[in-house]
Each structure stands twice: as C-alpha cells, then as structure tokens.
Amino acid sequence: MESSNGKPPQGEEEGKAAGSIGGYESLHRLLESNLPPELFKEASRLLLGLNCAHPLEAVSLPGATTDLAKAHNFDVQAFRFNADKEHMRQPRIVRVGLIQNSIAVPTTCHFADQKKSIMEKVKPIIDAAGASGVNILCLQEAWTMPFAFCTREKRWCEFAEPVDGESTQFLQELAQKYNMVIVSPILERDINHGETIWNTVVVIGNNGNIIGIHRKNHIPRVGDFNESTYYMEGNTGHPVFETAYGKIAVNICYGRHHPLNWLAFGLNGAEIVFNPSATVGELSEPMWPIEARNAAIANSYFVGSINRVGTEVFPNPFTSGDGKPQHADFGHFYGSSHFSAPDASCTPSLSRYRDGLMISDMDLNLCRQIKDKWAFRMTARYDMYANLLSEYLKPDFKPQVIADPLINKRA
C-alpha cells in the first residue's frame, strides 16, 4: 500500500520495498515530502526545468485509469508539455505512454509460464493507457522475458520469436482496440535468415498493422551485460516511423550512450525517440537522467526513457570478468521511466521499484520552435564532422594534436 506522496504509510517499515529511497518511490517524491513548498518549487525548477517558462503541468486521468492502477498496484503519473501558440499552425498534441514492469514469476518457472504471466501483468497497464486515450505506447526492452543475457546460457533463446509472433499478435489486438500505436521491444528470431536472433522493436500501427522493425545498433560489453552471446549489432540503420500521430524512432538501451546514434534519428526527422532499456543502479543510475535529456536538447525532439524494475535472480550463478565473486542476479533494475523535452524540461520519474505507466501530452510544435530558437541544425558543422569521421576510419589516421614545443625542453 502507498500513500499519495509515494511513501509507505505510517506503521509500515520504510525500507521494506527493495529499491526505494529511504522509503520513497523516487527522488522527486522524497524532496516533495521533506522540503517546504517554496523550496521544493525551486528545487523542481532546477531539476526538471521549465516548459514555456512555467513548471510542467500535471494532467488528471480518468477514474478507470486510477482504479486499474490501484487494483494492480502500479504507479501512474501524467504531465503536459506545451508549446507556444503559432499563427500558421494548429497545435499538434499527442498523448504518449511508457510502461515499466518487473517480471511476474521466478526465473525457475517454465518459460511458457514466465512469458504468459508477464503478458497478463502488462495487459491491465495497457488497458489503463487505452482508458487514458494514449496515442503512442512504448514497452521496455525485451519486455516478454527476464533480462537473462547476463547468464550466457543459450536456453534463454527460447524466448525469441518471429516479428509476427505471439507477443506481436497480442499487442496487435490491443493496438486496434485502443486506436494506439504500440512499440514492442522483443527478442527476435529471424526465420528467413538462418533463425538469427536480434534485439528488435516491432512498431505496430493504430490499425493493428506492423509498420516496421528496428534492431539494436549498439551492443554492450560491460559488467554483466553479455548480450553479444545472443545477438550482434543491428542492420536496420536509423529508421523513423511515420505514424498516424507523429514521426517516431527507437534508440534501444545501450544506444543512449552514443551521441551520434541519437543524432542520426534526429537527422531522419524523428519527433519522439523512445529509449527502451534494462539497466541497473550501480552501473548507470547517475547517467540515467542526463543522457536522454541531453539528447532531447541537442536534437530538438522528445525522448521517452523506459527501464524495467526489480531484481531478477537466475538459477545458476555467473561471473562477468570484472573480478567480482559469482552471483545470480544483475542487480536492481531501478525503473525511473520519464519523458524529456527539447526545451530542457522533463517529467519526474516513475517509481524505482513498482510497475508504472507514465503519460504525457506533448505538443510536437515544440520541436520546430526549439530548432528555430537555438538553430543547432544551422550552426552545426556536419561537413567538418563528416571529414573527421572519414579520416578516422582510415588505418593511417593521425589525430590532430598540436604539441607545445616547450614540453620537456631543457632550459
């Protein structure tokens, strides 16, 4: 049970929920509960920025949504990103949602039961998004399974499925029911190319059709992330999907650490870029609120960041080559899903330990308005960057370093 401020009610043990911050679901809720109102307002301005010179507005949601959140114990928050009124264009407001969730049963259960239980767990959250009128919804990376790629055990490949497989069919019905575009990150088995496995997103249109796919561009080789045991770098470039509600792209997980990956989606015209992820606190949490927000600013588009929640314990311990003793879990997936806007404003984060649905109304006119204001595209030096990259790829590349001639020179 949670109180309205995101802290366990009096009488419950504050540290009971693994992943909480002193009993609070997020940093924002911790500050809200402990700072005087005026000081909290100023802290929020510094942490979350201002949208059109005003604090981000909260959005009221239908009773059906809040009832589902209460019945299924998931965090739900909603905010509005405004844009300035224009003379020549009408507002282009789209409602976008992000879902974060933990697995539903232990990893020792039958694989079919694990997948079924996750689908059953996620469906009420999708229903809540539908009841709220969400137009575009994105799920977390590899949402149909535990993030087992730390184990290096090939049996987890059984979760891989074709693009038009079970999870896609499940979501196609919901997309059609709610007139909603759904971005579904899965472990793909490419039947037409030797049953190769990829880390893939399937973009499902609001009519239930498959618009297209994108495969993860950057594969981590750090800590417990042994993903190249299962799949390699993607081969789909940087596609932007023109949907009924706007132009979207997907920068899967580790791609958020690569500024040029973000840039490429922007050059192809993305207005919203999703970053479905699976990342743990010890490794990346200080980076989490920075990278996506920076990408939104630098590329003049909205970013939706999604991270799973919970600690997933696997049957067999594993090691990672970093000197740590063998262990059976990745660490805590800290959730904290949120939206970032091109004007440097961002929403508070969802819970660090509970399932959640983050909703945002966003006026896509803000993308062009920020482009006009800051002129990043006009002031960029793409010719210079392209020339440097072209030279860097050559085996005889020499860095442009000008050395001080007096270094190490004797008097």
What whole-number distance in Å separates Cα of residue 340 and Cα of residue 342? 7
Nearest to 134 by CA among 279, 339, 329, 327: 339
Taking the CB of residue 135, how many other CB atoms lie within 10 A of it? 20
Contact 343, 301 (CB under 8 A): no
DSSP structure class, residue 321: S
Query: Terminus-to-terminus CA distance in the chain, angstroms?
Result: 74
Active centre residues (catalytic): 141, 216, 253
Contact 249, 274 (CB under 8 A): yes
Give CA separation, 404 vs 119, 398, 401, in Å.
62, 17, 10
Contact 243, 206 (CB under 8 A): yes
DSSP structure class, residue 5: T
Give CA separation, 198 vs 87, 158, 182, in Å.
46, 13, 19
User: How much is the CA Rg of the chain, to the nearest whole Å?
Assistant: 22
Can you read off the two tokens belonging to residue 100?
């974060």
β-pairing, 136-138 with 93-100? parallel
